[in-house]
Amino acid sequence: MKKLILFPLTLILAGHLSAQQGFYLKPLLEKKGYYKKDPVSRTIFSTGNQPFELNGQAYFWGLGQHQGAEVGILLGYNLKHITFETGLVSDGSNGILKLNYSTYNKTDSTYRTSFWKLNEGVALTKIPFRMYYNVFRKDSLHKDQRNFSLEGSIFAGLDFVFKPVGNPNTPLSTDEIDFLASNGKTITITETLYETPEHWDYLRTLGFNLKLYKRERNILNISVYGSWGHFNFSEIRFDMKNTDGTHYIHSEYAKADGIYVSLSKELNFTNTRNDFNRKFRFRRENLNK
pLDDT tens, residue by residue, 224-254: 999 999 999 988 888 888 878 888 888 888 8
Q: Per residue in 59-116, pLDDT tens?
A: 444 444 445 678 999 999 999 899 999 999 999 887 777 787 777 676 666 667 777 7
104 neighbors 111 (Cβ within 8 angstroms): yes
Question: pTM, whole model, 2 decimals?
Answer: 0.77
- The rounded distance, in Å, linking the Cα atoms of 180 and 107 is 12
- The rounded distance, in Å, linking the Cα atoms of 138 and 214 is 12
For residue 281, CA distances in Å to 271, 274, 276, 277 come to 15, 10, 9, 6
Domain that holds residue 249: 2-288
Average pLDDT, the chain: 79
**The sheet that has 95-105: what strands, in order across it?**
40-45, 51-56, 95-105, 110-120
**pLDDT mean over 184-190:** 83
State how many domains the chain has. Answer: 1
Could you tell me where the DSSP H helices lie in 62-187? none
Q: Which run of H or of E encompasses 66?
A: none
